[in-house]
Amino acid sequence: MFGKKTPPASASLTLRAMAALLSYPDAQLRGFIPGIGEVLHQERALSATRLTELDALLDTLARRDVLVNEAEYVSLFDRGRATSLHLFEHVHGDSRDRGPAMIDLAQTYEKAGLYLAEGELPDYLPAVLEFVSTQPPAEARAFLSEMAHIFNAIFSALQKHRSPYASILGALLDLAGEKAEAVKLPVEEDLDDNWAEPPVFDGCSTKGQARPGQAQPIQIVRRPGASAPTPGVPS
């Protein structure tokens, strides 16, 4: 005998709370921490175990000095590809496919009546979560499920760093109806090393510098310490 599948409950406020938690942890965010915790517990979209993990992250961000929180955030999310919060970094890297994918995602937002401010990137995870929070529960879960493989990669990288931020990615996988599990990560260099210039006249393209006679690729990296703001979404 088959039972009816229970439709996903709304997690709109939870998604917005986690978007805020993944944003740059400056003094302003610190002031929002009590409210973020209240929202997570009131909506009850997550399991008790996951809420306990998120409470630990909130407590850490509230207790530690703001500068320490900011430094850790930069170290985690701005200096390694494996933990990047720009989702297309994990899918397209620096390939030409990333541009069209950005345009398609921005157009998806616009069709929903949401517009990014100038300079904001549509694949920044807090922005993605703000958009998903505006969708009906079934559509929101389906959207999250499409990105589950990326969430698991970031989740695994954060666990490798023993970061409490991993609990947020685990929570997103829960909301997607997927299992949070460790995946094999490629070996990567620190971004500071990855973009370092090779020795003069080395003629080597492995550090982003082409050999003589070859086209020189243009590569853009977000300035360490900067954080793309979360786009405004109607309440």
**DSSP 8-state assignment for residue 213:** T
CB 131 within 8 A of CB 233: yes
State the DSSP H helix or E strand holding residue 125, giving kind and residue range, or none if neither.
Answer: helix 125-132
Lowest-confidence pick of 99-103, 122-126, 190-194: 190-194
pTM of the model: 0.73
Q: Give the pLDDT score at 193.
A: 52
Share of the chain above pLDDT 90, in %: 53
pLDDT of 215 higher than 50: no
Q: What percent of the chain has pLDDT over 70?
A: 71
Is the pLDDT at 10 greater than 90, yes or no?
no
pLDDT digits (tens, 9 = 90+) for 15-60: 999 999 999 999 999 999 999 999 999 999 999 999 999 999 999 9
Question: What pLDDT does 58 receive?
Answer: 97
User: Using CA atoms, how far apart are residues 233 and 128, in angstroms rounded to an integer?
Assistant: 11
DSSP label at 96?
A: T
The one-character DSSP state at 114 is -
Distance CA 53, CA 176 (A): 18
Q: How far apart are CA 197 and CA 207, in angstroms?
A: 6
Residue 159 has pLDDT above 60, yes or no: yes
Least Cα distance to 232 among 119, 106, 117 occurs for 117
Q: What's the pLDDT at 188?
A: 58
Tokens 């309440």 sit on residue = 235
pLDDT of residue 93: 62
Average pLDDT, whole number, for the chain? 79
Phi, psi of 124 (to 5 degrees): -70, 125
Which whole number is the average pLDDT over 168-190? 79
In this predicted structure, what is the pLDDT of residue 143? 92
Q: What would the mean pLDDT of 102-128 be, rounded to a whole number?
A: 85
Cβ atoms 1, 147 nearer than 8 A = no
User: In degrees, to the nearest 5, what angle opens at C-alpha 134 toward C-alphas 130 and 138?
Assistant: 115
Terminal CA-CA length for the chain:
42
Which element (helix H / strand E) includes 56?
Answer: helix 48-63
Cα gap 121→227, rounded to integer Å = 11
In this prediction, residue 213 has a pLDDT band, given cuts at 50, 70 and 90, of very low
